């Protein structure tokens, strides 16, 4: 495995390259992770793919140098086009878990003619939660959400109120509390939500690109996942003519481990 950096204007993507297979595979991890989320599974993929595993911005060693300015889809296309040109990649496949699903969908939208296969594991970007929209889009709520970075007791009070009102599942609450239990994690949550807020997708359009370009499409979800539920995946899948959808006997955190062999069945 080799480690490298790709600078683009004021941003820097950190990534690793591993494997010796004939097909390039670009991998994007979930929230709170980095490229190492796939590390123990790379041997399975090595003979089939040359794997480029990225650190998302605000994760690992990647850097976003534009403050709270959102990462737009056109700007992501410019960044990745420059990366593809540098690596001389003309066709490739994509894989993403959770938050990484947004980057897979943005890449699919940008380069449908270059993509062989897509592998999504409980992808973010298929259904935007009400709470995410509330925290990131209206300025007044975004300011309140930012205040919770400095005053975490506000977050605890808010989530406990939601639990009392029955609008938050206990499992989801535990997941949220784990992601907000240090100042560094709270900053990471805020930056990721705010800067990635423009990565939203028209699912009919995404499906039409898959259908038109005959892209192999595989999606896995965890039966016990409280974060990104299997039922919500049909918002996208009902528009994709040919796809593979597997609901696995696991929760959110185990999904990469349980899904990795499906990458070999494109």
Sorted by where each begins, the domain ranges of the chain are 2-128+200-264, 130-195
Cα distance between residue 23 and residue 27, in whole Å: 13
Name the architecture of domain 2-128+200-264. 3-Layer(aba) Sandwich (3.40)
Treating both helix axes as pointing N-terminal to C-terminal, what angle do 203-212 and 100-110 enclose, rounded to 10 degrees? 60
pLDDT of res. 11: 98
Where are the extended beta strands (E) located within the chain? 2-8, 11-18, 23-28, 49-54, 92-97, 115-121, 216-222, 244-248
| Nearest one of 110, 16, 11, 102 to 57, comparing CA atoms | 11
Measured between alpha carbons, how far is 84 from 79 in angstroms, rounded to an integer? 9
Q: What is the chain's pLDDT, residue by residue, as a tens digit (266 residues)?
A: 999 999 999 999 999 999 999 999 999 999 889 999 999 999 999 999 999 999 999 999 999 999 989 999 999 999 999 999 999 999 999 999 999 999 999 999 999 999 999 999 999 999 755 444 444 455 556 666 666 666 667 666 766 776 665 655 565 556 566 566 676 777 888 888 889 989 999 999 999 999 999 999 999 999 998 888 999 999 999 999 999 999 999 999 899 999 999 998 65
Count the helices and strands in the chain (H runs, E runs).
Answer: 11, 8
């Amino acid at each position: 495995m080799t480690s490298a950096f790709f600078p683009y204007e004021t941003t820097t993507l950190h990534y690793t390259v591993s494997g010796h297979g004939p097909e390039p595979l670009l991998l994007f991890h979930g929230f709170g992770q980095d490229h190492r989320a796939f590390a123990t599974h790379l041997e399975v993929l090595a003979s089939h793919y040359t794997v480029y595993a990225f650190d998302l911005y605000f994760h690992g060693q990647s850097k976003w140098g534009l403050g709270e300015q959102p990462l737009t889809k056109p700007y992501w296309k410019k960044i990745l086009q420059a990366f593809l040109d540098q690596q001389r990649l003309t066709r490739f496949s994509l894989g993403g878990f959770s938050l990484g699903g947004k980057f897979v969908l943005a890449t699919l939208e940008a380069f449908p003619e270059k993509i062989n296969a897509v592998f999504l594991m409980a992808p973010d970007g298929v259904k935007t939660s009400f709470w995410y929209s509330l925290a990131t889009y209206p300025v007044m709520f975004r300011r309140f959400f930012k205040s919770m970075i400095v005053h975490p007791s506000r977050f605890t009070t808010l989530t406990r109120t939601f639990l009392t009102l029955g609008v938050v599942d206990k499992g989801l609450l535990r997941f949220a509390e784990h992601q907000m239990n240090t100042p560094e994690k709270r900053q990471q949550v805020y930056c990721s939500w705010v800067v990635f807020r423009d990565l939203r997708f028209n699912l009919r359009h995404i499906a039409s690109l898959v259908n038109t370009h005959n892209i192999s499409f595989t999606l896995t979800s965890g039966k016990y996942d409280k974060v990104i539920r299997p039922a919500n995946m049909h918002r996208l899948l009902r528009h994709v003519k040919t796809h593979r959808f597997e609901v696995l006997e696991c929760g959110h955190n185990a999904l990469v481990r349980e899904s990795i062999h499906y990458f070999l069945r494109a």
